[in-house]
């Protein structure tokens, strides 16, 4: 079947099998390898992307289901001049990563969480990210990074509206 979707603002159209998972479509057809595959049990969240702005595990979605929709991967988070997203900056500053394998999915899940709840408590961050597993960090710095990103984004929007 032919599938067409917008990925990080650009149209990607390709012939693919009906059973192709979105994560494989992104990695192998679109060539966007930041989206990782960490399990085969839909439990790790390494494959998290934004589908029409909502975080989804792209190993649980068929490419066909994303036909006509908008997908954002970690490659698409940076701004037009290549500046990192505030969540990415906060992860770097607060040491929210070690090996980095979970990080693209963790960052996208965090972006989605902060869109829904721009001022989360620590508990809400922990609950919001519970579908994303990290084997390295013990989560503490990840949670700190998300809380810091929330503060940074609030300060940025206060600056814009001033
Ligand atoms: S690869 Fe583990 S949840 Fe998708
Ligand atoms: S930083 Fe290694 S799995 Fe999270």
> What is the number of domains present in the chain?
2
Could you read off the pLDDT of 76-120 as tens digits, one per residue? 999 889 999 999 999 999 999 999 999 999 999 999 999 999 999
Same-domain pairing of 28 and 61 = yes
Q: In what order do the strands lie in the sheet with 10-15?
A: 10-15, 2-7, 70-72, 48-51, 54-57
* Test site for ligand 2: of 39, 96, 102, 129, most ligand atoms within 8 A of the Cβ: 102
- Residues framing ligand 2 (Cβ under 6 A): 97-103, 134-137
**Which CATH number fits the domain that encloses residue 17?**
3.10.20.30
DSSP 57-122: ETTSSBGGGGTT-EEE-GGG-S-TTSPPPHHHHHHHHTT--SS-SSHHHHHHHHHHHHHH-SS--H
**Atom of ligand 2 lying closest to residue 99 CA:** 2
Residue ending a domain, among 42, 57, 76, is: 76
Mean predicted confidence (pLDDT) in 151-160: 90
Same-domain pairing of 93 and 67 = no
Q: Could you list the residue range(s) of the whole structural domain that residue 147 is in?
A: 86-161
Same-domain pairing of 71 and 107 = no
| Ligand with an atom nearest the CA of residue 135 | 2
| Ligand 1 center–CA 59 separation, angstroms | 6
pTM above 0.75, yes or no: yes
The predicted pLDDT at position 16 comes to: 96
Same-domain pairing of 39 and 66 = yes
Does residue 129 fall inside a structural domain?
yes
Does residue 57 fall inside a structural domain?
yes
Could you read off the pLDDT of 29-53 as tens digits, one per residue? 999 999 999 998 999 999 999 999 9
| β 70-72/2-7 pair status | parallel
**Which CATH number fits the domain that encloses residue 124?**
1.10.150.120
Mean predicted confidence (pLDDT) in 54-69: 98
**Atom of ligand 2 lying closest to residue 135 CA:** 3
> Confidence class of residue 159 from pLDDT cuts 50, 70 and 90?
confident
**Atom of ligand 1 lying closest to residue 60 CA:** 4
* Test site for ligand 2: of 88, 96, 99, most ligand atoms within 8 A of the Cβ: 99
| Ligand 1 center–CA 45 separation, angstroms | 5
The predicted pLDDT at position 40 comes to: 87
Could you read off the pLDDT of 9-20 as tens digits, one per residue? 999 999 999 999
Burial class (CB in 10 A: 0-12, 13-18, 19+), 152: middle
């Amino acid at each position: 079947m032919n599938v067409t979707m917008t990925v990080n603002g650009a149209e990607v159209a390709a012939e693919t099998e009906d059973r192709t998972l979105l994560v494989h479509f992104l990695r192998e057809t679109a060539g966007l390898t930041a989206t990782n595959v960490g399990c085969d049990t839909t439990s790790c969240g390494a494959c998290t992307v934004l589908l029409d702005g909502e975080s989804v595990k792209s190993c649980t979605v068929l490419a066909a289901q994303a036909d006509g929709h908008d997908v954002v991967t970690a490659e698409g988070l940076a701004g037009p001049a290549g500046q990192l997203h505030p969540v990415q900056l906060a992860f770097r500053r607060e040491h929210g990563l070690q090996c980095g394998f979970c990080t693209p999915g963790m960052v996208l899940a965090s972006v989605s969480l902060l869109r829904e709840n721009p001022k989360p408590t620590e508990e809400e961050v922990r609950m919001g990210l519970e579908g994303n597993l990290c084997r390295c960090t013990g989560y503490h710095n990840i949670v700190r990074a998300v809380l810091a990103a929330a503060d940074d984004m609030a300060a940025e929007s206060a600056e814009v509206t001033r």
